[in-house]
Amino acid sequence: MSRQYLGQNFLIDESILEKIASLFKPPGEFGEIGPGHGELTKYLSKKYSDFTVFEKDKNLVPLHKTLKNYRVVEGDFLDWDFNLQNKQIENFSFIGNLPYEAGTAIVKRICERPSQVVHFLFLLQKEVVERLCAKPHTRDFGSLSVLVQGQFDVEALDIVRPEAFNPAPQVMSQLVGGFRRENGAHPVSSKYNQFVQSCFLHKRKTFRNAIKSKFSKEKIDEVFQDFDLKPTARAEEISVDLWPALFKAFQDG
């Protein structure tokens, strides 16, 4: 039975489940977030004998504890400290059909720990995947695009229709894969994240107007000149990898 307050839509299409498991190629240890009744877990169990599942629903935890080839972490993944067996995870991967209610927050949480996470493969609401993978100068490009792409090389994969789930959601879903960037990763700090998010907060505003309450006119003029930004430039027109330099420029002096 699906528990709607947890945002659960269980993937039941066997061909899609099998394909997701085949696409997942973790280079080391991994965990499945939100295994539900074990629909995907059973395919992972055929390939791997030692992994972790993270289950929030107390009614489903006993189901997984009866199985021996993986361990269970009970509770909300968003509260987890990225420790397993009293040891910080390293080069860890994640897979999962993420609940719509928490999917974006889970991705953001993983992006706070890029030094520990090397790969993810998630099934999410299609519109969330579009935002994760969006390019500048497009409607979907925003702070989420910058924060995720600043840590991971992401790719939008297969679209999954509602009838593949029980209960069927009202929206389309899509797979998204990410691998940790080898070079040029963005800062991992709340100040940087807040800066980026604030610049996209009012998308109708120009970038200049979005930041004018936070910095002096002289500082804004200086940065715009140094980066050759047009006065009418908007946040969604600024490339992903220019954001760390902009952040540093506004913090200096």
95, 220: one domain:
no
135, 165: one domain:
yes
* Domain final position from 152, 180, 208: 180
Does residue 137 surpass a pLDDT of 70? yes
Q: What does the pLDDT look like over 208-218, one tens digit per residue?
A: 999 999 999 99
The single residue listed with the structure tokens 């709340």 is 190
Query: Does residue 105 contact residue 77 with C-beta atoms inside 8 Å?
Result: no
Q: Is 239 left (phi over 0), alpha (psi -120 to 50) or beta?
A: beta
**Mean pLDDT across the stretch 67-90?**
94
Confidence of residue 5 (pLDDT cuts 50, 70, 90): very low
196, 173: one domain:
no
Does residue 159 surpass a pLDDT of 60? yes
Predicted local confidence at residue 1, as pLDDT: 45
Two tokens at 80?
Answer: 């987890």
CA–CA gap between residue 207 and residue 212 (Å, rounded) = 9
Confidence of residue 66 (pLDDT cuts 50, 70, 90): confident
Under DSSP, the state recorded for 160 is: E
The single residue listed with the structure tokens 């059909």 is 97
Output 104-110 pairs: Cβ under 8 A, ≥24 positions apart: 104/128, 104/144, 105/78, 106/33, 106/77, 106/78, 107/132, 107/144, 107/148, 108/144, 108/147, 108/148, 109/77, 109/78
Is 185 part of any domain? no
Confidence of residue 193 (pLDDT cuts 50, 70, 90): very high
Predicted local confidence at residue 155, as pLDDT: 98
Confidence of residue 55 (pLDDT cuts 50, 70, 90): very high
CA 9 to each of CA 3, 21, 168, 192: distance values in angstroms, whole numbers, following the listed order: 9, 18, 7, 34
Average pLDDT of the chain is 94
Query: Does residue 26 contact residue 50 with C-beta atoms inside 8 Å?
Result: no
Predicted local confidence at residue 8, as pLDDT: 78
31, 152: one domain:
yes
Owning domain of residue 222: 190-251
197, 152: one domain:
no
* Domain final position from 180, 214, 237: 180
Task: Give me the number of domains the chain comprises.
Answer: 2
Predicted local confidence at residue 204, as pLDDT: 85
Predicted local confidence at residue 2, as pLDDT: 46
Predicted local confidence at residue 141, as pLDDT: 98
* Domain final position from 151, 180, 209: 180
**Mean pLDDT across the stretch 167-183?**
96
Does residue 203 surpass a pLDDT of 90? no
